[in-house]
Amino acid sequence: MTHNYLLGALCILVLTCSLVPASSDGLVRVGLKKRPLDLHGIKAAKMARLHGEQGKGLNSMRHDESDLDILSLKNYMDAQYYGEISVGSPPQKFTVIFDTGSSNLWIPSSKCIFSIACLFHRKYKHKNSKTYQEIGKSCAIHYGSGSVSGFLSQDNVEVGDLVVHNQVFMEATREGSLTFVVGKFDGILGLGFQEISVGDVVPVWYNMIEQGLVQEEVFSFWLNRDQNAKDGGELVFGGVDEKHFKGKHTYVPVTQKGYWQFEMDDFLIGNLSTGFCEGGCAAIVDSGTSLLAGPTTVVTQINHAIGAQGVVSMECKLVVSDYGEMIWELLLAGVQPDKVCSQVGLCFFNGSGLESANIEMVVEEENKMKAPPGNDLVCTACEMIVVWVRNQLKQQETKERVLDYVNQLCESLPSPMGESVIDCNSLSRMPNVTFTIGSRDFTLTPEQYILKTEEGPTSVCLSGFIALDVPPPRGPLWILGDVFMGAYHTVFDYGNLKVGFAEAV
């Protein structure tokens, strides 16, 4: 029974944020409600999702507090940070996720009568708003965790003490996922770039700038990971709140507009590089993703290092058994890694390149990217093994030890839904993990990347890492969600197209 709860827990995890009326110091704050972490409740959070189906597609600053629009965030089990906005005149209140991985605003419509999710959330009644303007164009938004559809409308949107006039958004009439039923949020407010906006709708953030509502083209997140704390976090429009970080931010440029995408230098387990980021890795920082999502090859190494229980991949173990020594010899002989699997006959050219030119997830049904059938699956396993063997060669290990280690990695391949369960008593023996960004190391301890849940006297620990293989040209891609943002205060500098990270306090 406990295992079933864990599957449910790791099938569902997402994020959200919030706000309130202005206080006497000129800042907009909200009192946060905390909920106890439990295995039943964690099902209300939706795990890391891929936004790739959306639309067309991603020196600290000082301000007087009166220049900032500060939104306090509600923290639901370190998995959802949600908050309140208002739409219409008079205002109708809704809780939303503030999501840097998408760009549209949508809320449930009063015309949503056939979706169960709408029964459990507040619905927008445009006939009650004197500032409503009809558009009526059909619209559909697809997330990895589900889809919503409806039609476009226009009205005033209040975010904190800012009123965005004539904002176009979607009234959702169908919500096609259990995620939206159990989520603590009514809708989603996207903070990504217009390049991935469905229908090319101008995002709320863009209109804040256009209407002169913020002095600086910057917003920033502080996510509180202390489940017992009163405050769940803050979202600040127009700058940063300096009391929530220490030191200076390390900034890196946005490399591709759409998501907040940048180049990551390396990823280390303990003090050793995984070897996957040679030449750099694409990454996005995403407030709408609860966990840390990375390529299967690297997440498998993490699972092995922390003792995660995954699913055994017979294809992977067979490749090690039948071709491991040949892969070893070819790499020693200086054969280019991307040619090894074709030389041993496990990957084939299709005219433009290898059928599996990039390492893909062995089991990726959750993200609606089918694993390659037949020989393609073996090719994928071979490519992962090449990465692992090559990395071990750099450590000057013996062939026997390397092949034994790689065989163990096969046993740590993530299960189909990406879930990984950890022995809570082993946290003290787990390694730190480090993301190198802008030539600076950003380290997470086991206490930061492991989610601990409790049910009665029982504690269960869940890995903060899931496997996600994003195909080219967007991927391979890391997604740094709330697990990372909770440790590092994050600045989204739209004016200078860069993102910055500093240690959160």
Retrieve residue 326's tokens.
């040949």
Token pair for 296: 């299967």
Per-position DSSP letters for 149-207, written without gaps between them = EEEEEEEEEEETTEEEEEEEEEEEEEE-SHHHHH-S-SEEEE-S-GGG-GGGPPPHHHH
Give the separation between CA 502 and CA 102, rounded to whole angstroms: 23
**CA dist., res. 257 & res. 196, Å (int):** 9
The dihedral through the CA atoms of 262, 265, 268, 274 has a sign that is positive
Contact assessment for residue 20 and residue 161, using Cβ atoms and an 8 Å cutoff: no
Separation of alpha carbons 92 and 290, rounded Å: 28
Torsion of CA 400, 401, 402, 403, to 10 degrees: 50
Looking up tokens 């093994």 gives: 385
Q: Which two tokens stand for residue 452?
A: 């601990």
What are the backbone angles phi and psi of residue 328, rounded to the nearest 5°? -55, -50
Angle formed at CA 50 by CA 48 and CA 53, multiple of 5 degrees: 155
Q: Which residues are catalytic?
A: 99, 286
> How far apart (Å, rounded) are the C-alpha atoms in residues 481 and 204?
21
- Any idea which residue has 């863009």 for tokens? 206
Question: How many CB atoms neighbour CB 345 within 10 A?
Answer: 13
Among 54, 261, 18, residue whose Cα is nearest residue 146: 54
Q: In sequence order, which residues have a C-beta less than 8 Å from that of residue 74 and are 6 or more positions away?
A: 16, 17, 18, 30, 32, 33, 80, 81, 82, 83, 95, 184, 232
How far apart, in Å, do the first and last CA atoms of the chain sit? 38
Residue 433 β-bridge partners: 269, 444
DSSP assignment string, 314-335:
HHHHHHHHHHHHHHHHHHHTT-
Q: d(Cα 224, Cα 231) in Å, to the nearest integer?
A: 7
How many degrees, rounded to 5, is the angle at CA 79 between CA 74 and CA 85?
35
Closest by Cα among 223, 39, 53 to 143: 53
CB contact at 8 A, 185 and 96: yes
Token readout for 461 is 């620990």
Type of residue found at 483? V
Left if phi > 0, otherwise alpha if psi is -120 to 50, otherwise beta: which for 258? left
